[in-house]
C-alpha cells in the first residue's frame, strides 16, 4: 500500500476521450462508478468535461481530504448542489458556508448520542410491522421493504407519529421522481428545464406534493397532533426541555432562541438571521424536507446492499449470526445498549458502505482563486468527488475491489484506510446523521438477521439504477428462509 504523498507529489491531468458537446457526460451516465474509479490512473486531480462544465475530480484520498477540510474555500455549490437546492432549499445539506455553522449547531442537537437511544424503539416497531406477515418461502422485493422501514422510522423519529400508509407511499413516489430526476436535471440547460415537458411536469408536481406534505406534517406537529408513543418526553439533552423527537428539537431550536424568528428580517429562504439566532419557519421546513431526502433512501440502499453482500459471503454471514446468537439470546429484540457489542454487524455495514456508498457524486465550488495539485483554479471552479471512487483507490486499501469486512478490525485498520472511507463525507460538512444511520442499520439488520436468512432470487440485476441520486440495485428479490 502506498504512503500518502505530500503536496508537491500530487499530479494534475485531463481525462482522455471527451466527446464534442457532451464531454465525458455519456461515460459518467452509462457507468458512473467504473468511470470515476478509473480516473486516478491519469493523475491525482483529473479534469473532466460534463457538457459545458469542466469539473476537477480529486481522486487521491489525501487530496480530497484537503478539499473537504476547507469548506469555506471549497463551498457547497456546483451542478449537483444547484439542483439539490431546488428540492431542499437552504437546509443543512445544501446551505452555503455562511449559513452552515449556525444551522449545524441547531440541527446537531437532535442527533446527540443521548437522543439516539430514544429513537431505537421506532426502529424496532417498524421492523416488526414490516415483517409481521413474513413466513418461510415468501419472496420480498428488497428495496421497497427497506425503504418503507427507513421512511417510517425517520418519520416516527422526526414527528413521533406513525405515518399512514397513504402518506408513506405518496412521499416515497414523490422522492423517487424528484431525486431520481436530479441528475437528469443537472445536465439540462435552464431553458429546457422550464419547458412543459412530461418529465419536467412530473418533477414539479412531485416537488409540490413534498412541500405540501412537509407543511402539513409540521402544522400537525405544532398543533400537538402526534402520538408521542416513541418518546418518553424527558429528552434531557438541553434542547429546550425534553425533546424526544427530531422535529421537537428543531422547533425548540427556533422557538427557544429568539421567539419570533420566523418573521425576522431576512428570514425568508432561511438565509437570514445568521447572528446566533434559531431556525426560522422556512428553515425548519427546509430541514424537514432535507432530513427526509437525506435520511431514507441512503439507509434503505445500505440495508439492501448489506443483505445482498451477506448472501454472497457465507463466512461473513456466519460471523454475524454467531454474534447475534451471543448478544441477543433466544431472539430477543436488539436494544441501543447492544450496539457496542454488534461489532461484526458494524464491520459488514462499513465494508458495504465502502463498496456501495449510497451518495456517489457531490460537487463543490471554489470561492476564491486557489491552486490544487499544482493546477491554478479560478473563483467559481467546479469540483466533483465520489466516495465510491476514492474508497476503491489503491492508496486506501489492499485489494480494494474485494469485499472483506475484516479489514475493519481495529488491528488491521490503517490511517490510509480511514482517509479513503468517505461514505459520510468529511470535515465540517460530514453527514450529521452518520451515527443515526449506522445505529439504525445495525438495529434493523440485527432484528432481521436474528430471525431470517435472505436468499437472492434468480434474475437479480445489481447494476445501479441509472441516474439515481442514491446508488441502489435495479432489481433484487429475496426469498425468506428460517435460520
Ligand atoms: C447510510 C446512510 C447515509 C449516508 C451514506 C449519508 C451520506 C452523506 C454524505 C456523503 C454527506 C456529505 C455530502 C457532502 O459533503 O457534499 C451527508 C451529509 C448530510 N447528511 Fe447524510 N447520509 C446518510 C444518512 C443520513 C441520515 C439518516 C440523515 C438524517 C436523518 C442524514 C442527514 C444529512 C445532513 C443533514 C447532511 C448535511 C450535513 C452538513 O452539511 O452539515 N444523512 N450525508
Cα 447 to Cα 321, 339, 345, 414, distances in angstroms? 11, 12, 11, 31
Which residue has its alpha carbon closest to ligand 1 atom 14? 425
Q: Helix or strand or coil: residue 463?
A: strand
How many A from CA of 431 to the centre of ligand 1? Answer: 4
**Beta-sheet strand order (sheet of 362-366):** 12-14, 45-50, 53-58, 382-385, 362-366, 74-76
- Work out which ligand 1 atom sits closest to the CA atom of 93: 37
Is the same domain home to 236 and 384? no
pLDDT at 333 over 80: yes
Note whether 280 and 416 are same-domain residues: no
pLDDT band at 231 (very low <50, low <70, confident <90, very high): very low
Residue 369: which CATH number?
Answer: 3.30.43.20
Has residue 243 got a pLDDT over 80? Answer: no
C-alpha of residue 292 to centroid of ligand 1, in Å = 11
Q: Kindly report the protein residue whose alpha carbon is nearest to atom 15 of ligand 1.
A: 425
1 and 108 share a domain? no
* CA distances in angstroms from 155 to 60, 82, 180, 359, listed in the order given: 38, 26, 21, 21
Q: Which residue's CA is the closest to the ligand 1 atom numbered 3?
A: 298
Read off the pLDDT of each residue in 280-300 and give the average, rounded to a whole number.
Answer: 90
CA–CA gap between residue 268 and residue 79 (Å, rounded): 24
Residue 150 has pLDDT above 80, yes or no: yes
pLDDT for the residue 309: 97
Partner residues linked to 74 by β-bridges: 366
Is the domain of 384 the same as that of 404?
A: yes
pLDDT, tens digit, 9 for 90 and up, residues 358-369: 999 999 999 999
Rounded CA separation 447/336 (Å): 12
- Alpha carbons 151 and 247: distance in angstroms, whole number: 15
Query: Is the domain of 164 the same as that of 238?
Result: yes
Phi first, then psi: give them for residue 63, nearest 5 degrees: -70, -40
Pairing of strands 53-58, 45-50: antiparallel
Given a cut of 60, is residue 329 above it in pLDDT? yes
What is the position in ligand 1's atom list of the atom closest to the CA of 104? 41
CA of 39 to the centre of ligand 1 (A): 25
pLDDT confidence of 235, banded at 50, 70, 90? very low
**268 pLDDT above the threshold of 70:** no
Q: What's the rounded Cα separation, in Å, for the pair 483 and 451?
A: 6
Phi, psi of 13 (to 5 degrees): -150, 175
Q: What was the pLDDT predicted at 191?
A: 82
Last residue of a domain, one of 398, 422, 446: 422
pLDDT above 60: residue 72: yes
Q: Do 233 and 249 sit in the same domain of this protein? A: yes
Candidates 428, 430, 379, 375; CA nearest to 70 is 428
Same domain, 451 and 307: yes
Q: How far is CA 118 from CA 237, 269, 436, in A?
A: 11, 31, 11
Centre of ligand 1 from the C-alpha of residue 344, in Å:
23
Neighbours of 401 (CB within 10 A): 9
CA distance 438 to 443: 9
Among candidates 218, 200, 207, which has minimal Cα distance to 161? Answer: 218
My answer on whether 406 and 428 are in the same domain is no
Q: Is 431 annotated as a binding residue?
A: yes
Confidence of residue 220 (pLDDT cuts 50, 70, 90): confident
Alpha-carbon separation of residue 183 from 28, 35, 51, 297, 358 (angstroms): 11, 16, 13, 15, 14
Q: How confident is the model at residue 262 (pLDDT cuts 50, 70, 90)?
A: very low
- Choose which residue among 431, 437, 442, 472 to substitute to test ligand 1 binding: the one with the highest number of ligand atoms within 8 A of its C-beta: 431
More confident residue, 162 or 132: 132
CA of 221 to the centre of ligand 1 (A): 24
Report pLDDT for 217: 81
Contact 237, 112 (CB under 8 A): yes
Pocket of ligand 1 (CB under 6 A): 92-93, 104, 154, 290-291, 294-295, 298-299, 302, 357-359, 362, 387, 423-425, 429, 431-433, 436-437
Name the one residue in this structure whose C-alpha cell is 429475496.
478
Atom 18 of ligand 1: nearest residue by CA position: 431
Q: Would you say 397 and 258 are in contact if contact means Cβ atoms under 8 Å apart?
A: no
The string of pLDDT tens digits covering residues 83-99 is 889 889 999 999 999 99
What is the mean predicted confidence (pLDDT) over 432-436? 94
d(CA 182, CA 201): 14
Among 116, 149, 294, 421, name the best residue to mutate to test ligand 1's pocket (greatest count of ligand atoms within 8 A of Cβ): 294
Last residue of a domain, one of 422, 442, 461: 422
393 and 354 in a single domain? The answer is no
Question: Residue 307: is its pLDDT beyond 90?
Answer: yes
Mean pLDDT within 442-453: 96
* Domain with 212 in it: 70-359+423-482
Q: Do 225 and 242 fall into the same domain?
A: yes
In this structure, what CATH number is given to the domain that contains residue 156? 1.10.630.10
Q: Is the predicted pLDDT of residue 122 greater than 80, yes or no?
A: yes
Domain co-membership, 34 together with 167 = no
- Residue 255: per-residue pLDDT: 57
Return the residue whose CA atom lies nearest to atom 31 of ligand 1. Answer: 433
> Does the pTM of the predicted model rise above 0.75?
yes
Q: Domain count for the chain, please give it.
A: 2
Query: To test ligand 1's pocket by mutation, which of 111, 361, 391, 433 has the most ligand atoms within 8 angstroms of CB?
Result: 433
Q: What is the distance between the alpha carbons of residues 268 and 376, in angstroms, rounded to a whole number?
A: 37
Residue nearest to atom 30 of ligand 1 (CA): 295
For ligand 1, atom 41, name the residue with the nearest CA.
429
Mean pLDDT score of the chain: 86
Contact 470, 179 (CB under 8 A): yes
In a 10 Å sphere around its CB, with 0-12 CB exposed, 13-18 middle and 19+ buried, how is residue 119 labelled?
buried
Which tens digit of pLDDT belongs to each residue from 35-57?
999 999 999 999 999 877 899 99
Same domain flag for 246 and 332: yes
Q: What's the 24 CA to ligand 1 centre distance in angstroms?
A: 27
277 band by pLDDT with thresholds 50, 70 and 90: low
* Domain finish residue from 403, 422, 441: 422
Query: Taking 90 as the threshold, does the pLDDT of residue 320 lie above it?
Result: yes
Amino acid at each position: 500500500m502506498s504512503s500518502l504523498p505530500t503536496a508537491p507529489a500530487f499530479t494534475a491531468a485531463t481525462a482522455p476521450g471527451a466527446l464534442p458537446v457532451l464531454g465525458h457526460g455519456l461515460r459518467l451516465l452509462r457507468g458512473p462508478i467504473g468511470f470515476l474509479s478509473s480516473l486516478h490512473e491519469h493523475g491525482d486531480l483529473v479534469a473532466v468535461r460534463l457538457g459545458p462544465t469542466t469539473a476537477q475530480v480529486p481522486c487521491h484520498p489525501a487530496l480530497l481530504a484537503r478539499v473537504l477540510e476547507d469548506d469555506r474555500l471549497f463551498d457547497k455549490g456546483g451542478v449537483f448542489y444547484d439542483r439539490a437546492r431546488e428540492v431542499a432549499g437552504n437546509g443543512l445539506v445544501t446551505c452555503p458556508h455562511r449559513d452552515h455553522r449556525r444551522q449545524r449547531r441547531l440541527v446537531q442537537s437532535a442527533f446527540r448520542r443521548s437522543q439516539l437511544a430514544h429513537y431505537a424503539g421506532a426502529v424496532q416497531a417498524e421492523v416488526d410491522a414490516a415483517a409481521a406477515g413474513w413466513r418461510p418461502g415468501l419472496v420480498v422485493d428488497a428495496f421497497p421493504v427497506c425503504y418503507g422501514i427507513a421512511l417510517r422510522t425517520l418519520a416516527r423519529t422526526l414527528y413521533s407519529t406513525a405515518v399512514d400508509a397513504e402518506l408513506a407511499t405518496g412521499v416515497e413516489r414523490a422522492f423517487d421522481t424528484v431525486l431520481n430526476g436530479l441528475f437528469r436535471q443537472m445536465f439540462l440547460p435552464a431553458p429546457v428545464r422550464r419547458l412543459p415537458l412530461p418529465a419536467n411536469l412530473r418533477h414539479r408536481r412531485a416537488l409540490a406534493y413534498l412541500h405540501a406534505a412537509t407543511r402539513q406534517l409540521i402544522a400537525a406537529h405544532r398543533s400537538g397532533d402526534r402520538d408521542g408513543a416513541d418518546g418518553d418526553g424527558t429528552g434531557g439533552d438541553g434542547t429546550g426541555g425534553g425533546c424526544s423527537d427530531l422535529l421537537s428539537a428543531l422547533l425548540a431550536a427556533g422557538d427557544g432562541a429568539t421567539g419570533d424568528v420566523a418573521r425576522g428580517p431576512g428570514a425568508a429562504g432561511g438565509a437570514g438571521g445568521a447572528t446566533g439566532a434559531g431556525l426560522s419557519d422556512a428553515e425548519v421546513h427546509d430541514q424537514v424536507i432535507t432530513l427526509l431526502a437525506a435520511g431514507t433512501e441512503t439507509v434503505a440502499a445500505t440495508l439492501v446492499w448489506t443483505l445482498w453482500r451477506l448472501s454472497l459471503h457465507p463466512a461473513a454471514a456466519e460471523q454475524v449470526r454467531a454474534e447475534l446468537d451471543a448478544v441477543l439470546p433466544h431472539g430477543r429484540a436488539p436494544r441501543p445498549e447492544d450496539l457496542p457489542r454488534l461489532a461484526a454487524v458494524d464491520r459488514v455495514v462499513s465494508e458495504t458502505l465502502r463498496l456501495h456508498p449510497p451518495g456517489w457524486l457531490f460537487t463543490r465550488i471554489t470561492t476564491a482563486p486557489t491552486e490544487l495539485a499544482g493546477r491554478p483554479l479560478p473563483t467559481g471552479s467546479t469540483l466533483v468527488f465520489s466516495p465510491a471512487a476514492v474508497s476503491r483507490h489503491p492508496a486506501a486499501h489492499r485489494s480494494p475491489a474485494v469485499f472483506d469486512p475484516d479489514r475493519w478490525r481495529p488491528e488491521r485498520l490503517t490511517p490510509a484506510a480511514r482517509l479513503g472511507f468517505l461514505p459520510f463525507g468529511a470535515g465540517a460538512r460530514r453527514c450529521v446523521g452518520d451515527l443515526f444511520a449506522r445505529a439504525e442499520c445495525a438495529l434493523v439488520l440485527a432484528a432481521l438477521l436474528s430471525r431470517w436468512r435472505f436468499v437472492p432470487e434468480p434474475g437479480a440485476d445489481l447494476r445501479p439504477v441509472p441516474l439515481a441520486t442514491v446508488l441502489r440495485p435495479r432489481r433484487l428479490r429475496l426469498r425468506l428462509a428460517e435460520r
